[in-house]
Amino acid sequence: MKDSIQRYYSDANVISIPVADGGEGSVDAFLTAMGGEKVSITVMGPFFEPIESFYGIVGGNTAIIEMAACAGLPLVGEEKYPDQTTTFGVGELILDAAKRGCKRIIVGLGGSATNDGGTGAAAAAGVSFFDEEGASFVPTGGSLSEIARIDISGRDPVLRDVEIITMCDIDNPLYGKQGAAYIFSPQKGADASMVKRLDTELRALSKAIITHLHKDVSKIPGAGAAGGMGGGMVAFFDAHLKMGIEVVLDTVGFNDLLEGVDMVFTGEGKIDSQSLRGKVVMGIARRTKPKQIPLIAVVGDIDDPIESAYDEGVSAIFSINRVAKDFTQVKGRAPQDLALTMDNLIRFLHILGS
């Protein structure tokens, strides 16, 4: 986009802001946009095995964590067992960041291989889970119903004065037909019977949280994100669930960057009904509209109906799918097609302005 703009407007000041939704690439996106430090650390992986992971520190005391870095689907390969995987490593990343002095921790929920409701992360932070025999254990997606007691008193005090925000771009509840198990666990390897079982386990976790922590997180929008991690972050870490794009834009100071701007370009893979619920394009539109700044969305594909996007502040939407084929056939062309589409757009704008 920047190359195409400066080909026709060589003196244009173009500000590039990489964004991610909380999944893979979120840390690098923040570091590219803001600068900062990438911290490497060994933590527990999805199957409780030691792995090399990382997080970012921006602005001196804000940590950016993507749970995919230690509990992500790519880390399990073909060994997809959401009843056995853990978010323990995520808790270790959170603790390490807090111990390094970070007072604000942003946790990206996306791309997980887990369905443990964030109990693994909580255990890493010092929350204790006990079974009927009084033995402590670290629950996974398939053993949440074994929780007979939760003791949060041992949570590491270093977290006491830390603000924790979770990036979440979905509004699914913890359980039920629209919950974590039914909507997301099939892509993590769950068959129909396991989906039902995982949903039952999440219901048991919800009851345990109500009983022992006196919180009902089950219907909070986003509680079902990342195998129930959204609900777990609220229950065990007192985290705030926020739309990912809103967190990104606030963190990079987007409103200030809009001062003096003539036009904003953005995009995503496919603009559809999910996009209209508040993903990247809509999140940006809601910032540009009050300032009456034109917003152009350049996307991979356009679904029906998306007319309400214009009411939200999108000025125009263009698809880069120049040969009108399925994504699997054109994904290799995407960088080239994006460049060519932008070239056409800027060429036209240049003619209008000359």
Strand runs labelled E in the chain: 37-44, 50-58, 62-66, 104-108, 128-130, 149-151, 163-167, 240-242, 264-266, 270-271, 295-299, 301-302, 316-319
Nearest to 165 by CA among 68, 94, 263, 70: 94
Residue 354: predicted pLDDT: 66
Count of alpha carbons within 13 Å of 94, Cβ hemisphere only? 33
Residue 19: predicted pLDDT: 82
pTM across the whole model: 0.86
Nearest to 224 by CA among 346, 98, 347, 118: 118
Q: Which residue has the tokens 């074994």?
A: 146
Q: What domains sit in the chain, N to C, each tagged with a CATH number?
A: 2-14+262-353 (3.40.50.10350), 26-245 (3.90.1510.10)
Residue 24: predicted pLDDT: 81
Residue ranges in the chain whose pLDDT is less than 70: 21, 277-278, 354
Residues 27 and 56 sit within 8 Å (Cβ to Cβ): yes
CB 143: neighbour CB atoms within 10 A? Answer: 18
Residue 331: predicted pLDDT: 85
Helix pair angle (244-251, 280-288), 10° resolution = 50
Residue 6: predicted pLDDT: 94
- Using DSSP, state whether 341 is helix, strand or coil: helix
DSSP state of 16: P
